[in-house]
Chain A
């Protein structure tokens, strides 16, 4: 069964088409990543799925509930960890959680026990009775997650969970998300504009660009889909021999997009490791000295470039965060 079904969502804010026909499915129990630059429509998608905003058209089912027709049923099934923390900073961690539990209808000893449980789950039992104002960024984030988990939701939304965290806290958050994904029978949808985060955490992901899903699949499938690993040959002495070297590499069966970049000849081949001995032999019989050869699998960066025709980093800075 699919935990989330999104079909042709459209939403317009004044002169910005935030969602332009977003479609994807999230299977139960998986960690699904929505990857895209700032302003691509990830957060708007999450806002629709968490019933915070209504789409202009299209359908979305979360845990089997239509988010437009039965928002309260959907709300009971989901946990939402917003991009900007929604904790009451003047209250303690425990008080925040007690209120959240009561909103979901937990009472008396039941709410106290569950609060204790989630505090331990996110590793905050010692800070529980301190006012949130004094928490570190990472602690606040973990409290956000605890708030989202209090009612044992089946789907958890993590909107940019590591934005604004220092590298150490980010690494800790990754471990946290992986642990949650294994521990509770939970479906997690996370949005991110960090390529390595999607690569690391998501079982499957959808790349979002300009309000549309451009491609969907496992990170490995997406990279394999580019058909080809990058082989970089560094020439020892390029004087005049570089064009010759390019010609030799181009003759290799299956080589595509061969380019010269200074003393580096780059090409794409179906299997890099297999290609290296043959390439080296051909270059040496042509009398061209080689300094080094490296091979690398395509990154999500390459995937993004391939499907949108634009560099991820350039898109991410071109559109300011909304």
Chain B
């Protein structure tokens, strides 16, 4: 319970900071990888929390939850823009919820992984390189730009294991006419599982970090 409580207050802190500069929400649409934890490490904010009884887990989880919320808002913006341009969400209310949830679910594993790596390398330059090295290929290897059916065979195979593609397919099925809801459920479950596993990874690297100081 203390984890949930502490995570909540730490998310509130980040949300307030984000609202002070709402332009970040737009900027993060373009560059979604986030290593705010690294900034916190550099500025000793993490040390400050570690000397308090705050749950250790909440320090990492709040970063993951915050990225999820940012992505949710971004998904909402895009959906509203799409709506203005004539897009119809054929999945109805459930469709809306799925799209917003998928936005958060794709962002959270990446936030957890990048925070984990940030704790291991502790260098912003390395983080930017890693983000670009991983982020762009994942986008190209999804059905965002190329339809699944016209992909070369190898690409189609690889994209099946691409979490970005899981999110794309789930969101698409929630919007188009005759979406396959079984697939939506499966992809969301996969993303949820991935969020859990990557959060564990981030927590583990945080313990390693703590031991090293």
Chain A interface residues toward B at CB < 8 A: 47, 50-54, 72, 75-76, 78, 80, 82, 84-91, 95, 99-100, 102-105, 131, 147
Asked if B10 is an interface residue, CB under 8 A from chain A, the answer is yes
Query: What are 27 A-B pairs with beta-carbon distances under 8 A?
Result: A47-B213, A50-B51, A51-B50, A52-B50, A52-B213, A53-B213, A72-B53, A75-B51, A75-B53, A80-B48, A84-B44, A86-B45, A86-B48, A86-B49, A87-B43, A87-B45, A88-B43, A90-B21, A91-B17, A95-B13, A99-B9, A99-B10, A99-B12, A103-B49, A103-B52, A104-B53, A105-B53
Number of CB contacts from chain A to chain B under 8 A: 68
**Minimum CB–CB distance for B119 against chain A, Å:** 16
Q: Is the CB of B52 within 8 A of A88?
A: no
Q: Is B6 an interface residue (CB 8 A)?
A: yes
Tell which of B6, B13, B16, B44 touches A85, judged by Cβ atoms closer than 8 Å: B44
Interface of B, secondary structure class, is helix
Q: How large is the interface on B (under 10, 10 to 19, 20 to 34, 35 or more residues)?
A: 20 to 34
A90–B51 touching, CB < 8 Å: no
**In contact, B44 and A88 (Cβ under 8 angstroms):** no
Q: Which of B12, B17, B52 is the most central at the interface, judged by chain A CB atoms within 10 Å of its CB?
A: B52
Would you call A82 and B17 a contact (CB within 8 A)? no
Give chain B interface residues in 1-48, CB to chain A under 8 Å: 6, 9-10, 12-13, 16-17, 20-21, 40, 43-48
**Residues in chain B near residue A88, CB distance under 8 A:** 13, 17, 40, 43, 45
Q: Closest approach, in angstroms, between the C-beta of A145 and any C-beta of chain B?
A: 12
> Residue B54 at the A interface, CB < 8 A?
yes
> How many Å lie between the Cα of A53 and that of B210 in the bound state?
7
10 nearest A-B residue pairs (beta carbon) = A86-B48, A80-B51, A86-B44, A75-B53, A103-B54, A102-B9, A90-B17, A50-B51, A84-B44, A72-B53
Instruction: Determine how close the nearest CB of chain B comes to the CB of A48; give it in whole angstroms.
Output: 11
